[in-house]
Amino acid sequence: MKRKLLFGERMLLGDGTEAFNAVIPFRLRGIFKEEDIQHALGQIQAKHPWLRAIITHDENNIPWFEVPGNHLPIPIRTVMRKGENDWQEESAKEWQTLFNYEEKPLIRFIWIKGEELSDMLFVFHHCLCDGGSAMAFLYEFLQILDHPSAEIGVESPILGIQDVVPAEILNNRRQKLKAKFIGRLAATAIKCIPVSKKAIERKNDYLIHWKFDKETSSELISYCKSQEVTVNTFLSAAVLHAFKKVRGNAAFNKVSCPVDIRRFAPQIKDDHIFAFGLMIVVSANYKINFAENLYAMQEAVERKTAKLNPYITMMVMESAHDALKNFTKLLKHGKSSNDCMFSNLGRIQIPHQYKEFTLDTIFSPSVIGPLGNTTTLVTSTFRGEMDFSFMGSEGYLPYSEALAIRDEVIETVKLQLDPIAVL
């Protein structure tokens, strides 16, 4: 089984010399054997063919996902647990560790082994899948780890754009011409944009982690409901406010927010191994107050989201493979134009109590890659607690400023929730 990488996947893959890795850390309370972990990993590989895949290149140097005839197990690396923050150190280490994807799968597993408490990490190349896919196979892994004979089904994998874009759109002459025209236009424009000969030096990467307790998390969700805005919009506003306050005129007033393609393309199931994403950019109006901004931003988010078209977007990108090199160069060498990427995975629907163990927590994923500004904030909610992973690089955002931005986000949230606390 094999398929060509789509444009976005090729962009994330790069040339193999720079890592673009995502990490899903979680904490389990229980006692485990490595053979049981390996069995669970083998079972999720049996369900998802692309978790067994390597990367091969054809005569035109085009990369393909290919499932080899011989089984290639997910590698396990075990380290002894010393403290609460080991998972952060191992996450940062895994950001930098390249995948030997021509010989091994694009996924590996880290077991930070303790006597009764273990931290575990799924690490995968971002070209393989997104956070939504990762949560699906994490859920399946835990099912098998608890009950080795559990049935998790078999994925019918996506084999190309034809499995995502409906035939009546993909084969429509007008839509094909439209996609090709936009693709050519974009490719030409990218060529004309001046870029520096040298990429910005990334310097040291870092991870800042924090949580809101159940009470604060519940109050935040209730506040958003009362204001008729999403948690995503509220936190985007808080992030933009924090960047402005800490960075002043150096702030761009732009946050990029991924939008789950599954909302628009039902062909992509929750458990599909797939990496394609959609994006909107959110900004604030500093001439009005925070509460007024929430309404204005919510309207803008809904308007931009309604205009998203995953099918045409994919067709445009697939018509522009020859522009990949220029596009990648623009991302790496062009000036940064946004403050950060902000991704909200929402409530994670994975049980915490199992027969053989307890899932104490799922830490929000982290990801760092070589395509420009690495500053990223990811949040998720598990067992009623909102969890945050804030990652970046000194060359784009100094660590001291990142800490100040974190403090400002927390303070902004507390200030907005204060009236509820008083009541």
Question: Tell me: the pLDDT tens digits for 342-400?
Answer: 999 999 999 999 999 999 999 999 999 999 999 999 999 999 999 999 999 999 999 99
Let me know: does 136 contact 270? Beta carbons within 8 Å.
Answer: yes
Q: What is the spatial order of strands in the sheet that 63-66 belongs to?
A: 2-4, 63-66, 54-57
CATH architecture of the domain with range 202-308+333-422: 2-Layer Sandwich (3.30)
Q: State residue 277's pLDDT score.
A: 84
End-to-end C-alpha distance for the chain, whole angstroms: 60
- pLDDT at res. 421: 45
Whether the CB-CB separation of 267 and 152 falls below 8 Å is answered with no
Place of tokens 């996506």: 158
Environment class of 153 (CB within 10 Å of its CB; exposed 0-12, middle 13-18, buried 19+):
exposed
Alpha carbon 19 to its chain centroid, in Å, reads 15
> The tokens of 284 are what?
């604030």
C-alpha angle with apex 127: 166 to 151, nearest 5 degrees?
75
Q: What is the DSSP letter of 50?
A: G
**Residue 423: predicted pLDDT:** 40
Every domain of the chain and the residues it spans: 2-146, 202-308+333-422
Beta carbons of 341 and 365 less than 8 angstroms apart: no
Query: What's the confidence (pLDDT) of residue 419?
Result: 66
Residue numbers in the chain where pLDDT is lower than 70: 419-423
DSSP secondary structure string for all residues of 232-301: HHHHHHHHHHHHHHHHGGG----EEEEE-GGGT-TTS-TT------EEEEE---TTS-HHHHHHHHHHHH
How far is 392 from 368, CA to CA, in rounded Å?
8
| Whole-number pLDDT of residue 334 | 78
Residue 35 CB neighbour total at 10 angstroms? 8
Token reading at 316: 């445009």
Per-position b or e across 39-68, b if 16+ CB within 10 A of its CB: ebbebbbebbbbbbbbbeeeeeeebebbbe
Architecture per CATH, 2-146: 2-Layer Sandwich (3.30)
pLDDT (tens digit, 9 = 90+) per residue, 45-62?
999 999 999 999 999 999
> Do 2-146 and 202-308+333-422 share a fold?
yes
